[in-house]
Amino acid sequence: MADAVGARKRARPGGHQLRPEVVAHHQRQRILAGAAAVFAERGYRQVTVADIVKSAAVARARFYENFASKEDCFFALYDSATEAALEATENGCEGQQGEFPDRVRAGLQALLANLESDPALARSWIVEGPAVGTAIDERFERLIGDFAVLLRRGRAGADETELPDTVEETVVGGLYWLLYYALLEGRPKRIGKLLPQLTEFALIPFVSTETARNAAASP
């Protein structure tokens, strides 16, 4: 979403050399960045399309060229942000050549860095997502499921303990709501400090307590 944040700055006059699709993309990103700022500040329920266009500094007509409604805009923001968070986590895991606990820690570190890089965006999708109501349910289920797949894939062959198939989803769900409260209580800049604790919680079902705590404590 850094792309979208950068896009909030107005294009310089004389930008007519740009291709129309580039301009359209730029405007869409600017609207999304403006939307993230107001959703984070005022909450999904309180925000109107007028607030979004004001925050993004675009004409109302530009908004409706890109989105059918506030909800449509929020879903675009949610999809883009969750995809980026998942990709960052996956890259973090794959970039680490160590054992399962090291990969989990690296993935969580990358996730937290992603969230810290844009606190407004993080608050928008994590805290305001459930405020949308039932319309978000399918996306929420998919989000938890996608992260659970990542955790399940990472631990394949890591241990022989037979656990229920749902345990990864439960762990991911717990991590989600832990981040939710950290962001809700206005601690976005301190979210990175949760890394050792998140690491321990993510690992403890699958490895010994000692191994989980060692991974959590590793520098």
Partner 1 sequence: MSGWPVAGAEVDAAARERGRILAAFVELVGECGLKEVTATATIARAGTAPGSFERHFADPEECFEVAWDGLEAAYLERLAAAYEGFDDWRERFRAASAATVRLAEAHPDWARFLTVASLAAGDNGRRRQRAIGRHLVALLDTAREQLDDPAAVPEVTGRWILGIFFDRFYRRFASPDGPDLVSQLPELRFLAVSCYFGTEAGLAEFGLQP
Question: Are the CB atoms for 38 and 47 separated by under 8 Å?
Answer: yes
Q: Is 205 in the site for partner 1 (CB under 8 A)?
A: yes
CA angle 180, 186, 192 (to 5 degrees): 70
- Which 145-204 positions form the footprint of partner 1 (CB under 8 A)? 161, 163-164, 166-167, 170-171, 173-178, 180-181, 184-185, 194, 196-197, 200-201, 204
Between residues 87 and 185, which has the closer beta carbon with respect to partner 1? 185
Between residues 1 and 127, which has the closer beta carbon with respect to partner 1? 127
Binding range to partner 1, per CB under 8 A, among 12-20, 65-73, 86-94, 205-213: 205-213
Between residues 208 and 218, which has the closer beta carbon with respect to partner 1? 208
* Residues 67-96 as x/- pattern, contact with partner 1 by CB under 8 A: ------------------------------
Quick one: 37 exposed, middle or buried, by C-beta within 10 A (0-12, 13-18, 19+)?
buried
Shortest CB 16 distance to partner 1, Å: 44
Q: Is 139 in the site for partner 1 (CB under 8 A)?
A: no
Q: How far apart are CA 88 and CA 114, in angstroms?
A: 7
Q: Which residues contact 197 (CB under 8 A, 6 or more apart)?
A: 216
Q: Is 48 in the site for partner 1 (CB under 8 A)?
A: no
Q: Is 59 in the site for partner 1 (CB under 8 A)?
A: no
Q: How far apart are CA 74 and CA 80, in angstroms?
A: 10
Q: Which residues contact 98 (CB under 8 A, 6 or more apart)?
A: 106
Between residues 7 and 129, which has the closer beta carbon with respect to partner 1? 129
Q: Point out which residues bind partner 1 (CB under 8 A).
A: 43, 45-46, 130-134, 137, 140-141, 144, 161, 163-164, 166-167, 170-171, 173-178, 180-181, 184-185, 194, 196-197, 200-201, 204-205, 207-209, 212-213, 216
